[in-house]
Chains A and B, each alone.
Chain A
Amino acid sequence: MSERIGVYICHCGTNIAGIVDVADVSKWAGEKLADQGVVISRDYKFMCSSLGQELIQKDIKEQKLTRVVVAACSPHLHEKTFRNACKGADLNPYLCELVSIREQDSWVHTDKVAATAKAKAIVSGGVARVIHHEALEPLRVPIHPATLVVGGGIAGIQAALEIADAGFRVYLVEREPSIGGHMAQFDKTFPTLDCSACILTPKMVDVGNHPNITLLTWSEVQKVDGYVGNFAVTIKKKPRYIKTEDCTGCGICWEKCPKKVIDNVFEAGMGNRKAVYVPFPQAVPKYPVIDDVNCTYYLKGTCKACEKFCPTNAIDFNQKAEEITVEVGNIILATGYDLFDARRIPQYGYGKLANVFTNLEFERICNAAGPTGGNIVLRDGKTTPKTVGIVHCVGSRDKNYNAYCSAICCMQSLKFAHLVRERTGAEVYNFYIDIRTPSKGYEEFYQRLLEEGTRFVRGKVAEVTSVARVPEEEGKLIIQVEDTLIGKQRRIPVDMVILSSGMQARHDSKDIAKLFGISCSADDWYIERHPKLDPVATMTDGIYIAGCAQGPKDIPASVVQGAAAAARVLGKIQQKEIALEPVRATINQDQCSGCRICNNLCPFNAILFHEDKMVSEVNPALCQGCGTCVAGCPAGAISGTGFSNEQILSQIDGLLLLNITQVAVPVDR
């Protein structure tokens, strides 16, 4: 019994009808494809409109259609629309096929005759294919109500608090000993000049105290199994060598510890910490960790001063790493950014010329709890600079390093200019290409800096050098730049240079992405599902991204993304179960030889291997229907539901009009 197929050709106003003779195509389909099963063929101005949809629904009922082919725009836009229309008329939505005669035909051709003939071929392909479609039901999986948030910076903290406040469990994993991220390192935040720690620490304390948040610091995710709604995540808790149940956070251990170590993480190499330490006084949790690489006990077997002095006997040098597995329904990655290494630009002198600082180093200088007690001084720790040069765009907007703009450096540079002026009265120069101040209060902040007498020089700094050519330059750092607004090269002697280094993806972002089954862009930021309309979701269901891990942004935007990701997760949790697209691969176990080639091909780690039966099986919840395994299987044992060999081959036959004439002929003009 042949199917009863309805064919609908959309005009899309003049988008399609302007190039393709839609009436002709409709008539042709009704006549030439009748023996394929086409019982009705129509053309209409806007198929996606409610009237257009109703047209389809009416025909399904009256003509007892078993298949529907719509020739219109790209399936990316309206596949769902037409599938839902069919569903509304009690026809399984997967028995509807949308073929594109717009993006793939009318929008790319100007020859009307050829375009019309091509449209006929495309419709014919659709009809040939849809005959082989099967009625499919979406997969329903339950959603576990717990959530994993990876990364304890401001974005991760925001996400965790929102979900926890709604009453659901959150596991917050952070690889450093304390949460807080980069925001904890800053002194003031732009444009309000709020003290960074003052606005951050209340949230950190909330996280620490929240009954619904399980805080796992000094920990890293090792393995992620499962799929949306049902992840099993293995987390390694690195040994702190402190018994947290006994530790009161009194601080005697790090006070007594004799071993000083340069703190390259929190203090950006500007200050020291001890071998047993908390990264900063407001750390959450308050428990210190022992750095077993530098601790004298681990190096030589001696000292143990901390153990001697600890009043609650909380030191345990033999503590081992612990692995735990948690079950969660959704995961939010908020792993933050790394700073561009300014040593890669030797002409700026960072690392060679003492008084060239990076932005992070300068933040620590300004911070009252930092290595200089908040005094802006040169590397010698005493001299106050009389002139300061701030260099924008270090490593950003540069095809030799990172081509993108790091979004916050202009504002950060302005902030520095203000702080320098306020605290030292020094002359400040800002060297920029453009001043980027897009958000609320930002342009006003720039105005304020202009009023403060900051000297703006429009020019990207070419060199920072100590080679003096005239007496005024002796003993100074000379910034050589073209002042583009006057068209002259200038050499400006300063005492201190601050480089606004750009943001980069974490050095291991690709590895982390692989662990979670998501992808990274060419610049190694995590890739969002859609850059405009879906910035916190990823192509992998159940995994969300937030904050700078997705790309450079300021604190408000990070907070927004953290909250957005949390809202998405809460929405899923509320639904209690999720319906997954049934377009997936299935392995015919009789044909599977157990070669396992498909296992490694799968970009979503969706294929399991059964040792006992020596066959592979596709996990339908993880499978995204990409088709890689289908192509890779040497035995042809894998078929894509919704993309079976039969369906594709008959669509090709249809495109070549083999279903009409037995011979492929050039498209008739």
Chain B
Amino acid sequence: MVDELSFSFEIANLMYASHGEPITNCLQCGTCSGTCPAVEFMDHTPRLIIGMIRADLKEEVMASNTYWTCASCFHCTVRCPAAIDIADMMYALKRYSMWKGQFQDGLIGPDFSEAFVKMIVNSGRSFEPLLAATYLPKFSARDIIQEGLTATGLILSGKMPLLPKKIKGLKKFQEMVRRIIPIGEPS
């Protein structure tokens, strides 16, 4: 048995349900990066990230913004000739990042996900205005105003919920959640 898990093993362990081939099968062909619609906004291409994982460059990978820029469109996954589920690997990297609290500065994704999770645990449903609190602080003043305008438009057309909803069976729901991970303990 190995004493220390290689980084690619650690990531593979966070991909439990998906049925793709292991990331070590990667041919480094670049189809994923050639397909990715968000690649222009990533500091490393998806293929490079896989290469870096295999080279155990953990710090560099975690410091990259690539996996938080992934939109989960799964186009890479369906085209990959080695049948690797790359988008799921991006999720695994996000999970690792959240778990270790390690990510690039100034990213909105981690805060957003955390807020989303807390929101669902507390009510069983999502509520957009609450989520705004996660990203507005990171926006420039101009963008905040812009967002305000968009939101106003939505409110006026009745598309923005003003009050959060809760599901009826919330208590049992929360017990269910706690059987997976112990978050949202009743305070």
Contacts and interface: CB of A to CB of B under 8 A. Distances in A.
Please tell me whether chains A and B touch each other in their complex, using a CB distance cut-off of 8 A: yes
A400 B21 CA distance: 12
Contacts of A481: 30, 34
Nearest to A433: B29
Given A459-B34, A461-B34, A482-B30, A400 B81 contact: yes
A460 B39 contact: no
Contacts of B34: 459-463, 480-482, 489
Interface string B22-59: 00000111111111100110001101100000000000
Contact of B30 (A347, A398, A484): A484
Interface in A433-464: 433, 458-463
A487 B48 contact: yes
A488 interface: yes
A393 B30 CA distance: 13
B79 interface: yes
B137 to A, nearest CB: 31
Interface string B65-101: 0000000000000111111000000000000000000
Interface in A181-231: none
A378 B125 CA distance: 57
Nearest to A345: B79
Contacts, number: 69
Nearest to B29: A460
Nearest to A462: B34
Among B32, B35, B36, B47, chain A packs the most CB atoms within 10 A around the CB of B35
A397 interface: yes
A471 B80 CA distance: 31
Nearest to A459: B30
B83 A459 contact: no
A399 interface: yes
Contact of B31 (A462, A483, A487, A488): A462
B33 A489 contact: yes
A195 to B, nearest CB: 34
Contacts of B47: 482, 484, 487
Interface residues of A, number: 21
Nearest to B39: A489
Given A488-B45, A489-B39, A460 B82 contact: no
A460 B32 CA distance: 9
Nearest to A489: B39
B83 A484 contact: no
Among B31, B32, B33, B34, chain A packs the most CB atoms within 10 A around the CB of B34
A481 B30 CA distance: 7
A533 B60 CA distance: 48
B33 A482 contact: yes
Nearest to A488: B45
Contacts of A489: 33-34, 36, 39-40, 45
Contacts of B81: 393, 397-400, 460
A462 B44 contact: no
Nearest to B75: A462
Contacts of A488: 45
A480 B34 CA distance: 6
Contact of A484 (B28, B35, B36, B82): B28
Contact of B79 (A397, A400, A459): A400
Given A462-B35, A487-B45, A399 B30 contact: no
B94 to A, nearest CB: 21
Nearest to A457: B30
Among B29, B33, B83, chain A packs the most CB atoms within 10 A around the CB of B29
B45 A462 contact: no
A396 to B, nearest CB: 9
Given A482-B30, A487-B45, A347 B79 contact: yes
A482 B27 contact: no
Interface in A532-589: none
A483 B48 CA distance: 11
B44 A487 contact: yes
A459 B32 CA distance: 10
Interface string B95-129: 00000000000000000000000000000000000
Contacts of B29: 393, 397, 433, 459-460, 484
B27 A433 contact: yes
A399 B47 CA distance: 17
A461 B35 CA distance: 9
A463 B35 contact: yes
A489 B40 CA distance: 7
B66 to A, nearest CB: 11
Nearest to B81: A398
Among A398, A459, A460, chain B packs the most CB atoms within 10 A around the CB of A460
A460 B36 contact: no
Contacts of B36: 489
A378 B130 CA distance: 57
Interface string A462-493: 11000000000000000011111001110000
A459 B34 CA distance: 8
B42 to A, nearest CB: 9
A460 B83 contact: no
Nearest to B84: A399
A523 to B, nearest CB: 15
A481 B34 CA distance: 4
A347 B47 CA distance: 20
A463 B39 CA distance: 14
A460 B45 contact: no
A516 to B, nearest CB: 33
A462 B33 CA distance: 8
Given A347-B79, A399-B82, A489-B39, A460 B31 contact: yes
Nearest to A403: B81
Contacts of B44: 487
Interface in A371-415: 393, 397-400
Nearest to A432: B29
A463 B48 CA distance: 19
Nearest to B43: A487
A397 B27 contact: yes
Contacts of A459: 29-30, 33-34
Q: Which 4 A-B pairs have the closest CB atoms?
A: A462-B34, A482-B33, A482-B30, A398-B81
12 contacts: A397-B29, A400-B79, A433-B27, A433-B30, A459-B29, A459-B34, A463-B35, A482-B32, A482-B33, A484-B28, A484-B47, A487-B48
Interface of A: 347, 393, 397-400, 433, 458-463, 480-484, 487-489
Given A462-B79, A463-B34, 14 more contacts: A347-B79, A393-B81, A397-B81, A399-B82, A400-B78, A400-B81, A400-B83, A433-B27, A459-B29, A460-B29, A461-B31, A480-B34, A482-B30, A489-B45
